[in-house]
Chain A
């Protein structure tokens, strides 16, 4: 039994027509009463003249041709593609959630209390003393965290110029350090896939502003030497930064703060099941230890005798986003954490790790590094990981992340998350194994059952059509 996306079956190049292809009516909007200069106004508009049913069918079809976590498994490694529970949407849609952010504090106690509650939840989960909810995405959280580190060093007269980052880290770590004005020192991995402590010892110096790490790391391995690593960085006055990308493996079991981390960001779209932003509104809260709290962005929420109030930390780096961050995303994270509670969060991390290990045990591909936690990096060996991934699309599943991290040749970085049951993990394993066993010829033709067949990537990159205007 294979679930297939909706698709047109007749014709070589048949696709759902764009609205502008369905109808392209030019209407005269005329009138000379605009106070704007003629160069800024127009008399005609090109608009599709379509009925509501036509529009509804168009968008419903597009949604059926799409692939999402609500269609089937979506095991993109490092991305933690959790299902977004519907009750969080209901809560965010409640009219009382839609209040103006400039309302006086005493008239918005419920909303401020929820923001305060989320600060507290996240602080407890990460082992951090203070949390800002303002950054609008994970990468923005990273940048905020490193700006806080920089403000701390500058306030203490520390002359620091370098940030150390493992070679296998997320690309955003390198970009964050560089954007904050630091030199990036790249750290090679040891043979076992973890931080090379000897290489770190050589790299650490008085110039070290921070070390950025994720734990479990990019291939799902727990950094066993984390306490020693933290000491080495702290001994030279550096700070330890935790990339929250892989926090789902640790929920309720280990806290970055207890491992010696000073700063961390939380990817609420990963760990706490809010929608992945895709460039839209997201949230990347940042937690810090006590000594860094005065530098956090403004405003934060505090609890006083008068109830909940906004305040500006004394040496705040300022604003990194408007108001208190993306409220409707934060409310969903709060709802998720509150609904799951201690037991639910523990259960999530247990099942995330169990699912990854069960799936890995069912596939024919080698997994070079272990023991891993919530994700694993299988290798396609001498096959092309991207070709295998395209073939997997034919079996009603989304393939894993491919060709990254580079420490695993032709990597297929796989993270099923806790949401899959055994049947869907078995479907995934079957897709892996059929693709891996297929002939090179079959692989080169794939995918054939999807809405869009094999994409000509070179033409798409060399001659992109980024707007419907280009169809004319």
Chain B
């Protein structure tokens, strides 16, 4: 089976994706991750204004098969949360790179994350 790995973004080994526009990073999980999890039934996310730390967990995703932690790709303040996921967690399955996004984070100045993967590197990891 092959999975979408869009080239317009970066990835974490723990299967989150990120895009960067200005100072704002958007975070979600990959097509591969949603497929491994199966039907997603619950997503727990931080609130707007909370701070997250690169490499630490920012939330929890629960499917009919498993409960997994979600890891922050960068440090900063949460500026938006995809609240649609609370009522429609299936968006993560249906459109992981689009409507299934989870957080927008305003990257802090002292953010030191530098371990993001390119699309090619991530595609290798899940191959």
Contact = CB atoms under 8 A, between A and B. Distances in A.
A461 B42 contact: yes
A461 B64 contact: yes
B41 interface: yes
A461 B64 CA distance: 8
A403 B39 CA distance: 16
A428 to B, nearest CB: 25
15 contacts: A403-B65, A457-B39, A457-B64, A458-B39, A458-B41, A458-B64, A458-B90, A461-B39, A461-B41, A461-B42, A461-B62, A461-B64, A462-B41, A462-B89, A462-B90
Interface string A444-458: 000000000000011
Interface of B: 39, 41-42, 62, 64-65, 89-90
B95 to A, nearest CB: 16
A170 to B, nearest CB: 16
Interface residues of A, number: 5
Interface of A: 403, 457-458, 461-462
Contacts of B39: 457-458, 461
A457 B90 CA distance: 13
A403 B42 CA distance: 20
A457 B42 CA distance: 13
Contacts of B89: 462
Nearest to B38: A458
Contacts of A461: 39, 41-42, 62, 64
Nearest to B88: A462
Nearest to B65: A403
Contacts of A458: 39, 41, 64, 90
Contacts of B62: 461
A472 to B, nearest CB: 21
A152 B51 CA distance: 39
Contacts of A403: 65
Contacts of A457: 39, 64
B100 to A, nearest CB: 14
Contacts of B65: 403
B72 to A, nearest CB: 22
Nearest to B89: A462
A136 B105 CA distance: 46
A182 B36 CA distance: 32
Contacts of B41: 458, 461-462
B60 to A, nearest CB: 14
Contacts of B64: 457-458, 461
B41, B42, B62, B65, most chain A CB atoms within 10 A: B41
- Nearest first, the 7 A-B pairs at minimum CB distance are A458-B39, A461-B41, A457-B64, A462-B41, A458-B64, A458-B41, A461-B64
A462 B65 CA distance: 14
A457 B41 CA distance: 9
Nearest to A406: B66
A337 to B, nearest CB: 38
A403 B41 CA distance: 18
A106 to B, nearest CB: 53
B85 to A, nearest CB: 11
Given A458-B41, A461-B39, 9 more contacts: A457-B39, A458-B39, A458-B64, A461-B41, A461-B42, A461-B64, A462-B41, A462-B89, A462-B90
Nearest to A386: B65
